[in-house]
Amino acid sequence: MKLILIKDVKGMGRAHDEITTSDGYALNYLIPKKFAIAATIVAKQEAETRRKQSGDRSVLDAALLTQNIISLSEAHIVIKMKANEKGHLYDAVAAPDIVRAAKEQAHIDVPQEAIKIEKPIKEVGTFEIPVTTAGAFGKFSITIEAE
């Protein structure tokens, strides 16, 4: 049975793709769970239109993220955490904490999955944070201070 995916389905395809699958899988799982619709002529045309729109949107998102990375490199972000006398943090600083601090202090929205730190930060100091997406790469620094 030919279907148009409404959402990304692992192992099947991405949203707006046309796929062929068994009738049982389509009728008992994909269609009832609203993961796909029947591949009619109208559905194919709408999927093509949406695919083009999502491509345009991803180009705009990449340009906006590049602009945000440049703005972040100029900003100075400080995160205050509880630490012991040796400068070790009681709670690690991870990507969600960095995203929250960038939004609160620099008013810049960066997706969490764009921040590529190898492991959570567990010490006081200044750190370089790499940010990467499909078309953009950059770094910005954050300072972690003890409360």
- Per residue in 24-70, pLDDT (tens digit) is 999 999 999 999 999 999 999 998 888 888 777 777 777 777 777 77
* Confidence band, pLDDT 50/70/90 cuts, at residue 134: low
Residue 95 CB neighbours (<10 A): 17
Strands 125-132, 137-146: pairing kind: antiparallel
Domain parsing of the chain, residue ranges: 2-59, 63-146
Domain over 2-59 is classified CATH 3.40.640.10? no
pLDDT mean over 116-128:
93
**Residue 109, pLDDT score:** 83
Report pLDDT digits (tens) over 79-112: 999 999 999 999 999 999 999 998 998 888 888 8
> Residue 114 CA to chain centroid, in angstroms?
6
> Residue 96 CA to chain centroid, in angstroms?
11
Q: Taking 90 as the threshold, does the pLDDT of residue 135 lie above it?
A: no
Strand partners, 13: 9
* Confidence band, pLDDT 50/70/90 cuts, at residue 146: very high
Q: Following DSSP, what letter does each residue of 15-52 receive, concatenated?
A: TT-EEE--HHHIIIIITTTTSEEE--HHHHHHHHHHHH
Comparing C-alpha atoms, which of 92, 66, 77, 62 is closest to residue 128?
Answer: 77
Backbone angles phi, psi at 89, to 5 degrees: -80, 145
**Residue 131, pLDDT score:** 84
Sole residue written with tokens 């990304």: 8
Q: Taking 80 as the threshold, does the pLDDT of residue 5 lie above it?
A: yes
**Residue 86, pLDDT score:** 92
Do domains 2-59 and 63-146 share one topology? The answer is no
The set of residues, in sequence order, having a beta carbon less than 8 Å from that of 116 and lying 6+ positions away, is: 130, 131, 132
Cα 70 to Cα 41, 66, 125, 131, 133: the distances in Å are: 44, 6, 22, 11, 14
> Which H or E element spans position 66?
helix 41-74
**Residue 66, pLDDT score:** 76
CATH of domain 63-146: 3.10.430.100
